[in-house]
Chain A
């Protein structure tokens, strides 16, 4: 059963890819075969149907895994992050029929794939639940939150689409740099997945003996070749080599090593893209989205956030408070994760109020959508893995 659930996710991943391709064809196809309007329409339909199928398989993955492990598959980094990708796809599948915007598909599906691929870099095996998580509120709270965040993430995809459509890439100003930074982040994530996934598949492991922050001897295993080593580290495995630089004891050298690999890999990929395209990546995408109506995309992003905000609030704050009251005796305790959920809430509240005033529609609003999504990812990754609080189970 467990294995079968994993296979479902693989199939879903393939379908997300297929859907991306279909949406790409539905857009670029116009240019090449102007007369065959009929066929063009079909590839968009096919893209949507594939996306629906992908979501179906994704849900099958969740259901089977739920049955296999005995609890909702939203309890560690892999499961939660994958659920976020799936929720984003689900939100797209629901929103697409309203606006029938193929460009949105072209921007959403790759992000969904990237999130799921990123998720699978975390340990994917089944994990038992510690007592604090043994509650039906686990799924009520987490699933509601993740659906809310998935819908908010559509706001990001539409915002990015807006920016790629509207920013003037012939200039070299802050806006272009901003869009290029988003592109770089996406590319660096691709690099991270490629590098970590590759070495994982190859079974790479370099082990070091080192002195940890408590000044004790310890060992640490690297799954990537060591660009930087641990404090007073000495290689003790066959694989690997002596790294050129050693880190001081208070830094988790393995994480620094992984980040270094991702950033370097991202830079290489990004530079390659720049060389091949000979212009900013956003600028290269712009001709593709020339026919996008900016008003429509702006409205899609606004609607996505207006729809996602109440759901996120319900799951991420209200249900969270109910559960915290039951499990931790208080509904609110200023734990970092709680605070960052509040910050996300306040941020989107500010966004909604800004939308009431003129001058905050369109481009500025698109930037806000991007920042909002950055907050969600920050809360998921940085707060979970770096700022340890009560929530850090993974």
Chain B
């Protein structure tokens, strides 16, 4: 492919539309105003189109394609909000049934199409990937040519270039004076234009750096997307939930067993009458009390390096923190967030023993810790009680066997074996009974009955353990994006060309946007001179529709 040599002598790459140096149109076009996009230079995508690589490159570098990708993303994102995503359906609900149940046929279809997990579907991911690729290719495709063009531009432009600018003026008398020229130059400098001169011609330029705004913001976006992608790599992202009962300690996942968290107290506060008169109306409107605070008073403990594995006894106290919503506990790169709680979870049951006559057997009183029950209770009067089986969250499974759903004592059942003094626990079998809330069944011949005398509850806090190593990358990307956005939006590239040809003024102006400001600048610097007022050639080109 041949270079194009302009009459000014500059060698332009194939495909150039306006000479990089003098700006003379190299291809004839009948439009009144030249297309100044990328200064009329050739982009790779406009130059090559034979190989597969070229075709792919051209596809992704097209702004049209880019806009389509953005629009597709936008439309598919909105589909995901018609019904809740799977992660937002009530806990314990089964997605297979939930959507059909709640939303009928539309819900079933939503589920079948996979829209209940839309944002992690392969095709949504593919769209985001396409956006990323398009961003990279479109930016590369334009960056180098734009850089060349802005660097190479000459002060003296071809008259045809001048005439094809949107803002163009030409004086009809030949009385241009040096005095006016100096005046304009001084005014431009005062307006902080960068003024260059060559053979009595002038180029004033301002805000060129704003041309790089889009490229900076695209780079920021790419970094942001890469950061988002890294989440799927192991070790980058930790998301665990831990439940800690009051007075207890739990290991913090992700710290290799080094750190432990203790919940001293979990607090829920409500806005009550003391909240002041101001809120009364709103509080009465809400039928339930309005929460003012969720808080866990927590302590952090550390396992010393030399401690024996698993020994919790010699933990060192590190730090206390009141964990609240909006105020997580920060430990190295890990944060603990207040996200959930359970008030009044069953904690202990206290029992007594009743004999055949219904009299309480003296001295046989004991308390079972529902989170950590002892197996064996011996009493001075010779009675022994053993816990045969313990189901913290009792249910009967599909095979009809009693079992437990999990270790949370939501529905505890205990099978006790009672040995009166005349029986020997190691040899004989005792009286079996199953006890729970409102439940007391004897499982064999029993002469004694276990009676629940008391139940004690405790509050549990639910914390999220989070470590996200992608955050620094995401933050960097976001910051770069914002910088680029501001750079490209709040500054504008303006250029004014001024020439004298045979004593006549030629003046042309170009702005990449915000023409209004450029027009005002030109009007103000030419004020009081013999320079012609440039006209906006678009004003006459698109003849506005007539009224009535």
Question: B525-548 CB contact bits vs A (8 Å, 1 = yes)?
Answer: 000000000001011001011011
B285 touches A123 (CB 8 A): yes
Max chain B C-beta neighbours (<10 A), residue from A287, A293, A335, A349? A349
Which B residues lie within 8 Å of A342 (CB)?
Answer: 77
Question: A312-330 CB contact bits vs B (8 Å, 1 = yes)?
Answer: 0110001001000111111
B67 touches A353 (CB 8 A): yes
B513 touches A350 (CB 8 A): no
A346 touches B77 (CB 8 A): yes
Which A residues lie within 8 Å of B539 (CB)?
Answer: 293, 295
| In the assembled complex, A241 has its CB within 8 A of some CB on chain B | no
Which B residues lie within 8 Å of A168 (CB)?
Answer: 545
A329 touches B466 (CB 8 A): yes
| In the assembled complex, B399 has its CB within 8 A of some CB on chain A | no
Count of chain A residues with a beta carbon within 8 Å of a chain B beta carbon: 66
Max chain B C-beta neighbours (<10 A), residue from A287, A329, A330? A329
| In the assembled complex, A181 has its CB within 8 A of some CB on chain B | no
Which B residues lie within 8 Å of A68 (CB)?
Answer: 278
B271 touches A128 (CB 8 A): yes
B64 touches A331 (CB 8 A): no
| In the assembled complex, B81 has its CB within 8 A of some CB on chain A | yes
Which of B45-53, B148-156, B481-489 has 4 or more CB atoms under 8 Å from chain A?
B481-489
Which B residues lie within 8 Å of A347 (CB)?
Answer: 74
A280 to B513, CA, bound (A): 35
Which A residues lie within 8 Å of B279 (CB)?
Answer: 126-128
State which of A166, A328, A349 has its C-beta within 8 Å of the C-beta of B545: A166
Which A residues lie within 8 Å of B71 (CB)?
Answer: 346, 350
| In the assembled complex, B293 has its CB within 8 A of some CB on chain A | yes
What is the distance, in angstroms, from A158's C-beta to the closest C-beta of chain B? 13
What is the distance, in angstroms, from A189's C-beta to the closest C-beta of chain B? 23
Which B residues lie within 8 Å of A123 (CB)?
Answer: 282, 285
B478 touches A130 (CB 8 A): no
B64 touches A357 (CB 8 A): yes
| In the assembled complex, A238 has its CB within 8 A of some CB on chain B | no
A357 to B68, CA, bound (A): 14
B67 touches A350 (CB 8 A): yes
Question: B457-469 CB contact bits vs A (8 Å, 1 = yes)?
Answer: 0000000101000
A325 to B464, CA, bound (A): 12
Which B residues lie within 8 Å of A126 (CB)?
Answer: 278-279, 281-282
| In the assembled complex, B70 has its CB within 8 A of some CB on chain A | yes
What is the distance, in angstroms, from B225's C-beta to the closest C-beta of chain A? 12
State which of B275, B281, B328 has its C-beta within 8 Å of the C-beta of A125: B281
Count of chain B residues with a beta carbon within 8 Å of a chain A beta carbon: 62
A357 touches B78 (CB 8 A): no
Question: B469-487 CB contact bits vs A (8 Å, 1 = yes)?
Answer: 0010010001000100110
Which B residues lie within 8 Å of A178 (CB)?
Answer: none
Which of chain B's residues 246-290 have a Cβ closer than 8 Å to chain A? 271, 275, 278-279, 281-283, 285, 290
Which B residues lie within 8 Å of A97 (CB)?
Answer: none
| In the assembled complex, A203 has its CB within 8 A of some CB on chain B | no
A303-B514 contact given A130-B290, A309-B489, A343-B77, CB 8 Å threshold: yes
State which of B281, B290, B482 has its C-beta within 8 Å of the C-beta of A313: B482
A44 to B128, CA, bound (A): 49
Which of chain B's residues 316-334 have a Cβ closer than 8 Å to chain A? 324-326, 328
Which B residues lie within 8 Å of A98 (CB)?
Answer: 516
| In the assembled complex, A383 has its CB within 8 A of some CB on chain B | yes
A335-B88 contact given A127-B282, A166-B544, CB 8 Å threshold: yes
| In the assembled complex, A237 has its CB within 8 A of some CB on chain B | no
State which of B64, B88, B290 has its C-beta within 8 Å of the C-beta of A389: B88
What is the distance, in angstroms, from A137's C-beta to the closest C-beta of chain B? 8
What is the distance, in angstroms, from B226's C-beta to the closest C-beta of chain A? 15
A336-B548 contact given A68-B278, A99-B516, CB 8 Å threshold: no
| In the assembled complex, B144 has its CB within 8 A of some CB on chain A | no
| In the assembled complex, B490 has its CB within 8 A of some CB on chain A | yes
B78 to A, closest residue via Cβ: A343
A151 to B248, CA, bound (A): 53
Which A residues lie within 8 Å of B35 (CB)?
Answer: 358
State which of B84, B325, B478 has its C-beta within 8 Å of the C-beta of A318: B478
| In the assembled complex, B387 has its CB within 8 A of some CB on chain A | no
| In the assembled complex, A198 has its CB within 8 A of some CB on chain B | no
Max chain A C-beta neighbours (<10 A), residue from B35, B337, B547? B547
A160 to B362, CA, bound (A): 88
A350-B281 contact given A128-B275, A362-B542, CB 8 Å threshold: no
| In the assembled complex, A28 has its CB within 8 A of some CB on chain B | no
A310 touches B513 (CB 8 A): no
A356 to B536, CA, bound (A): 19
A310 touches B486 (CB 8 A): yes
B326 touches A294 (CB 8 A): no
Which of chain A's residues 335-394 have a Cβ closer than 8 Å to chain B? 335-336, 339-340, 342-343, 346-347, 349-350, 353-354, 356-358, 362, 383, 387, 389
A318 to B224, CA, bound (A): 11
A238 to B440, CA, bound (A): 54
| In the assembled complex, A200 has its CB within 8 A of some CB on chain B | no
A167 to B, closest residue via Cβ: B545
A290 touches B547 (CB 8 A): yes
| In the assembled complex, A306 has its CB within 8 A of some CB on chain B | yes
What is the distance, in angstroms, from A288's C-beta to the closest C-beta of chain B? 10
State which of B88, B292, B328, B478 has its C-beta within 8 Å of the C-beta of A128: B292
A128-B326 contact given A307-B489, A309-B485, A353-B67, CB 8 Å threshold: no
A298 to B293, CA, bound (A): 50
| In the assembled complex, A234 has its CB within 8 A of some CB on chain B | no
| In the assembled complex, A214 has its CB within 8 A of some CB on chain B | no
B482 touches A2 (CB 8 A): no
Which A residues lie within 8 Å of B88 (CB)?
Answer: 335, 389
Which A residues lie within 8 Å of B489 (CB)?
Answer: 306-307, 309-310
State which of B77, B275, B283, B482 has its C-beta within 8 Å of the C-beta of A339: B77
State which of A99, A287, A331 has its C-beta within 8 Å of the C-beta of B548: A287
What is the distance, in angstroms, from B515's C-beta to the closest C-beta of chain A? 6
| In the assembled complex, B209 has its CB within 8 A of some CB on chain A | no
B465 to A, closest residue via Cβ: A329
B283 touches A128 (CB 8 A): yes
| In the assembled complex, A132 has its CB within 8 A of some CB on chain B | yes
A307-B63 contact given A321-B478, A350-B70, CB 8 Å threshold: no
B326 touches A135 (CB 8 A): yes
B70 touches A340 (CB 8 A): no
| In the assembled complex, A299 has its CB within 8 A of some CB on chain B | yes
A349 to B135, CA, bound (A): 13
Which A residues lie within 8 Å of B271 (CB)?
Answer: 128
Which B residues lie within 8 Å of A295 (CB)?
Answer: 536, 538-539
A135 to B338, CA, bound (A): 14
| In the assembled complex, B243 has its CB within 8 A of some CB on chain A | no
A342 to B, closest residue via Cβ: B77
Which B residues lie within 8 Å of A327 (CB)?
Answer: 325-326
A295 to B, closest residue via Cβ: B539
A-B contact pairs, 18 of them (CB 8 A): A123-B282, A125-B281, A128-B271, A128-B290, A130-B291, A299-B515, A299-B516, A303-B513, A313-B482, A313-B485, A328-B339, A330-B466, A334-B119, A339-B81, A343-B77, A343-B78, A353-B63, A354-B67
In order of increasing CB-CB distance, the 5 nearest A-B pairs are A131-B325, A127-B282, A135-B326, A336-B81, A346-B74
Task: Point out residues on A near B: beta carbons under 8 Å.
Answer: 2, 68-69, 98-99, 123, 125-132, 134-135, 137, 166, 168, 170, 286-287, 290, 293-296, 299, 302-303, 306-307, 309-310, 313-314, 318, 321, 325-331, 333-336, 339-340, 342-343, 346-347, 349-350, 353-354, 356-358, 362, 383, 387, 389
